Amino acid sequence: MLQSKRVPKFEGVKVVFGRSNHQQPPPVGNHVTQSNPLPVQPGTTAPPPGVAAPTSVTASVIGDDLAIVGQNITVVSQSALHIDGVIEGNINGQEVVVGPNGKVTGTVTANVIKIEGEVHGALKGASVALMPSARVDGDIFHQMLAISEGAQFDGRVRRPQDISEVTPNLDPSSIQASGHRD
């Protein structure tokens, strides 16, 4: 049976599909409205009235219990990607957030990049923000850059003349065909 609960930290937001009694962030993504409900599978119940059921996800999360490791790996996200786990490979996305527990070894290319955790590799983005807990060892290519007090950064900073240098490749087939890592 589906249960929703109110999370005090996020007033007005209900979490659907809670697994335990500890606080969880609100669901991310588009939600179905009452006028367009999801079909209910036999043996399950629909969410209570007023609670939206999740549909297609507009943000992807790599949790702190997940590590992606290998050779020539490129993670491509057509929308937002939040990383709390470990990725050894390159990342291309519209928006990439490396959370406080996240660790990336490779190049991160996105329109918007926010670093709260650790990155060993280049950052290429139209907008790059290093938060106070950020630890970055690599070069930053940007159009806009914000470095918060307390952030640790070891590398060079460059603002390219051509925006294409910081534009992510969001086409997985072209990355696979070229066989190169950004």
The pLDDT assigned to 2 comes to: 40
In the chain, the amino acid numbered 179 is G
Does pLDDT of 130 surpass 80?
yes
Global pTM reads 0.67
3-state secondary structure of 171: coil
Whole-number mean pLDDT of the chain? Answer: 77
pLDDT digit string (tens) for 62-102? 999 999 998 899 999 999 999 999 999 999 999 999 999 99
The pLDDT assigned to 179 comes to: 60
Q: What percent of the chain has pLDDT over 90?
A: 58
The pLDDT assigned to 104 comes to: 98
The pLDDT assigned to 121 comes to: 98
